[in-house]
Amino acid sequence: MKHLIPYLQDGRKAADYLRQLRWPDGVKCPRCGSDAVEPRERCDNGLQRFNCVPCAVRWGQQFAMFTDWTSSIFEQSKLSPLEWLLVLGLWQLKLNATEIAAAADIQERTAQRCINLLDGGIFETYHLDPARQLEHHVEADECYQSAGSKGLHREVERREREPRHRGLQLRGRATAEMGRPPLLGLVQRRDPTDQDAPAAQVYLEVLENVRSATIKPIIAAKVKSGAQFFTDEYNIYHFTKADYDHRTVNHGAGEYARRDPDGTCVHCNTMEGIWSGLRNFLDRFKGISQRFLHLRVARYEFLHNYGHLNWRQTFEAAMRCIFSTTGDYLRRMTHQHRRMPLTLCYR
């Protein structure tokens, strides 16, 4: 995060840098989109105020003010641009709230709120982006992540059972209801012949269960038809024969990779590697709540997919996503006090 150092000198420099990332082609009014804006005096924390001339005319007022952060996820925040810039850098280092609070010298609750805003922004604009699709060689696999309803009394009551005990061993395929939500992972293998190819692109989804009916709309939305599709023998993937060149490895029989007569390498090892990276990342959160699991997973997904870029490019890509959301997803989620069902996302 060395490139942030010049902007961390004072609040104005931090605000100027973030403004440049929000409006690379010049400041536009967040209400009407006009660029007929005039800078006014700054706020105490360094944010620039602007007056939008067309809005002022329309309202019949002398001024129609907005700031660098109007209509962004930072709008309601009490943190200064300087503090936010530091938090953003630490967020990209995959730190948890405790570590960010200590490093940025802010309250832990504030740090928690910050990472939820940032992860929520990435989830809303990057994870849910319908334009992002996988093609060519795609592996699919599922894994299970322990996640409870920590601190969510309402959620525990709703389930009408005792709170989950840590380390509980469950038999059979786990579900979110049992405290071990499954994750579906889809990965497009990196093309080894192309030097400039991006990192292997992944798509990670937190599920309620691993029934075919749950995963079918996700795979249909995220994997282009005609792709080669690699899975293990698990029968939930059988429906993919219709739209994909579906090939399986038989883990039960000790087969983990094989080369078919047409030269295709059949395995799920790319996805296995990503699972171990994801587990390492999630372990940092020391007992993760089911309510926020999908947000943390979205951060990992984003940072993994931009892993081939340098730190600054990844930072600026993250900021483009974060400035294109208004935090609406997180507000609705907070209002519902639980993760929104997937059916809202795939329709």
Binding site for Zn ion (CB under 5 A): 29, 31-32, 34, 52, 55
CB of 59 to Zn ion, least distance (A): 9
CB of 52 to Zn ion, least distance (A): 3
Pick the closer one to Zn ion by CB: 60 or 167.
60
Pick the closer one to Zn ion by CB: 19 or 222.
19
Q: What's the angle, vertex CA 89, arms to CA 84 and CA 91, rounded to 5?
A: 90
CB of 62 to Zn ion, least distance (A): 14
CB proximity list for 121: less than 8 A, separation 6 or greater:
73, 321, 322, 325, 327, 330
Helix (H, G, I), strand (E, B) or coil at 187: strand
Pick the closer one to Zn ion by CB: 55 or 319.
55
Question: Residue 37 is which amino acid?
Answer: V
Pick the closer one to Zn ion by CB: 37 or 321.
37
CB of 51 to Zn ion, least distance (A): 9
CB of 72 to Zn ion, least distance (A): 15
Pick the closer one to Zn ion by CB: 29 or 118.
29
Which tokens sit at 20? 């440049």
Do residues 94 and 119 touch, judged by C-beta distance below 8 A?
A: no
CB of 146 to Zn ion, least distance (A): 48
Which tokens sit at 288? 């993760």
CA distances (Å), origin 126, targets 202, 281, 320 = 12, 19, 10
Pick the closer one to Zn ion by CB: 34 or 324.
34
CA distances (Å), origin 175, targets 28, 186, 213 = 46, 19, 14
CB of 27 to Zn ion, least distance (A): 11
Helix (H, G, I), strand (E, B) or coil at 67: strand
CB of 135 to Zn ion, least distance (A): 41
Any alpha helices (H) in the chain, and if so which ranges? Answer: 11-22, 53-59, 81-92, 97-104, 108-122, 153-158, 212-222, 269-283, 290-305, 311-323, 328-336
Pick the closer one to Zn ion by CB: 63 or 275.
63
Do residues 256 and 249 touch, judged by C-beta distance below 8 A?
A: yes
CB of 60 to Zn ion, least distance (A): 14
Any alpha helices (H) in 248-289, and if so which ranges? Answer: 269-283
Pick the closer one to Zn ion by CB: 64 or 101.
64
CB atoms within 10 A of CB 313: 11
Q: How far apart are CA 112 and CA 302, in angstroms?
A: 19
Pick the closer one to Zn ion by CB: 71 or 133.
71
Q: Residue 285 gets which letter from DSSP? A: T
